[in-house]
Amino acid sequence: MADTVPIYDPTKATVTPSPAALAPEATSGPTAPAVSAPGPLAQFPAPGEPLLTSDAEERVAVATQAQLMWRRFRKHRLAMIGAGAVIAFYLVVALADFLSYADPEASDAQRGLIAPQRVQFFLDGRFSPHVYAMVGERDPATFKRVYTEDPTQIIPLTFFAPGFDYKLFGVIPADMHLIGVEGVNPEETLFLMGTDLEGRDMWSRVMYATRTSLTIGLVAVVVSLVLGVILGGISGFYGGFADTVIQRTIEILRSVPTIPLWMGLAAAMPKTWTVTQVYFAITIIISLIGWTELARVVRGRFLSLREEDFVTAADLVGARQSRIIFVHMVPLFLSHIIAATTLALPAMIISETALSFLGLGLRPPAISWGVLLQQAQNVQTVALSPWLLLPALPVILVILAFNFLGDGLRDAADPYA
C-alpha cells in the first residue's frame, strides 16, 4: 500500500526543473518524470537512509497516473461514500420506472394525503413482507382525511412484480417493477412514502423526480465545461487580441442577471414544447453563460503555466501546440476542472430545485424535486402532511455526495499534492 504518499514535496516535485522533463517522451504527463528522476529524492534530509521500502517505492514508481489517482481516492473515505451515493442516485435515474411501483400521475381523491405506510416484515413468525389495506374517509368534524389499517386484509409484497407499462431506458417495453403487491393494484394499496393531495404515490413521484432533477443539469454542465476549457485556454495561451475579446465577452455575460433572463426565456419558448423541453433549453442557454467562471480559472492557470520551463522545453523540441496544451498543461489543472465540474453539478441541481420551488423553473405536470417541494409549500402540509416534505432529503443527500466526491477527486487528481 502506498501509505507513504505524502513524502513527495509538491513544490519540489513539480517546480524543480527536472532534466527528464526535457525529454519529450516522458512516461505519462509532465509531473511523472519527477518520480523516476533521482535528483529530487536525493534532496531529502537524511540521504542514504531508504525512506521507502523498495516494494512500495517500486509500486509508486511504475504506477500510471490513473492508478495513483485511484489509490489516493480510495483513501478518502467520505469521497468513497459520496461516489457510492452518486452512483446509486444515477442508478435511480436510469431505473426510475423500474424502481417505482405506481404510475406517478395516477391520482384518486379517495386516497389523498395518506401518511407513509408501515411495512410488516413477519407473518406468523415467517419472513413475509406485507402491508395492510388502508380504509379512508373524511372526518366530518375535523375535515381531515383519516385512514386506518385493516389488519384483516393482508397484502403481501412481491419483488419483480408486474405493474404499469413503461419503456426501460426509453426503448424496451416492460412492465416489471422492483416492488409490487400480489393480486391487487399497487396504486391503490401500497403507499411507502404516502400520497400527495391528489392521491398520487410519493415514492414513485420521488423516483421520477430524481430522474428529472439529476439529468437536467448534466448536459448544461458538460456544455459549460467544454466552453470554459476551450475559451479559457485560448484566452490564456494565446493572450493578446483573443484574450481581450474573450475577457470582455466574459465581463458582459457575467453582468446579465440570471433570474430575469430565466423568466424571460421561459416565456419566449415555443408553446408546443413540453415543460421539460423548455427547461432543458433554458438550462443549456444558462450554461452558455455559466462557462465564464471556469474560463477565467483556466486562463489564469494557462498564464502561469505557459511561462514554465517544461512548456518552453516542449515548445523547443517541436511539440505541437495541441500536444503542449492537452498533454503537458491540462493534466496540471485537471484537479481544478474536476472540482469545478463536481461542484457545478450540484449547483445546477440546486438551482433547478430552487427555481422550481419559486415557480420559475419546472412546472407541473413535470415532476422534479423542486416541483414536489413547491407543491408542499404551504401551512397545511407542515401541519397535517409533513411527509410531502420528504423530497428535500434526496436533495440534501445528493448535494453532499457530490461535494464529497468532488473533494476526493480534486485531491486524487493531483496525487503529488
Residues at the contact surface with another protein, assessed by CB under 8 A: 103, 105-110, 112, 137-138, 140-144, 162-165, 175, 185, 188, 197-199, 271-272, 359, 363-365, 375, 377-380, 383-384
As measured in angstroms, the least distance from the Cβ of 259 to another protein is 15
**Minimum CB distance to another protein smaller for 73 or for 203:** 203
As measured in angstroms, the least distance from the Cβ of 398 to another protein is 27
As measured in angstroms, the least distance from the Cβ of 141 to another protein is 6
Written as nine digits, the cell of 190 is: 401500497
As measured in angstroms, the least distance from the Cβ of 372 to another protein is 13
As measured in angstroms, the least distance from the Cβ of 282 to another protein is 16
Name residue 133's beta-bridge partners. Answer: 150
As measured in angstroms, the least distance from the Cβ of 134 to another protein is 13
**Minimum CB distance to another protein smaller for 58 or for 137:** 137
Dihedral of CA atoms 345, 347, 353, 354 in degrees, nearest 10, equals: -170
Written as nine digits, the cell of 68 is: 495513483
As measured in angstroms, the least distance from the Cβ of 374 to another protein is 11
What are all long-range contacts of 346-350, with beta carbons under 8 Å and residues at least 24 apart?
A: 346/398, 346/399, 346/402, 346/403, 347/217, 348/216, 348/217, 348/220, 348/221, 348/283, 349/213, 349/214, 349/217, 349/395, 349/398, 349/399, 349/402, 350/395, 350/399
**Minimum CB distance to another protein smaller for 185 or for 321:** 185
Distance CA 7, CA 25 (A): 26
**Minimum CB distance to another protein smaller for 105 or for 243:** 105
As measured in angstroms, the least distance from the Cβ of 185 to another protein is 7
CB atoms within 10 A of CB 292: 22
**Minimum CB distance to another protein smaller for 267 or for 396:** 267
Q: Supply the DSSP symbol for 328.
A: I
Distance CA 79, CA 73 (A): 7
Distance CA 314, CA 185 (A): 68
**Minimum CB distance to another protein smaller for 344 or for 373:** 373
- Secondary structure of residue 125 in the 3-state scheme: coil
Look up residue 31 and give its amino acid.
Answer: T
Give the CA diameter of the chain: 89
**Length of the chain, in residues:** 417
**Minimum CB distance to another protein smaller for 199 or for 217:** 199
As measured in angstroms, the least distance from the Cβ of 133 to another protein is 14
**Minimum CB distance to another protein smaller for 346 or for 391:** 391
What are all long-range contacts of 264-271, with beta carbons under 8 Å and residues at least 24 apart?
A: 266/360
**Minimum CB distance to another protein smaller for 140 or for 240:** 140
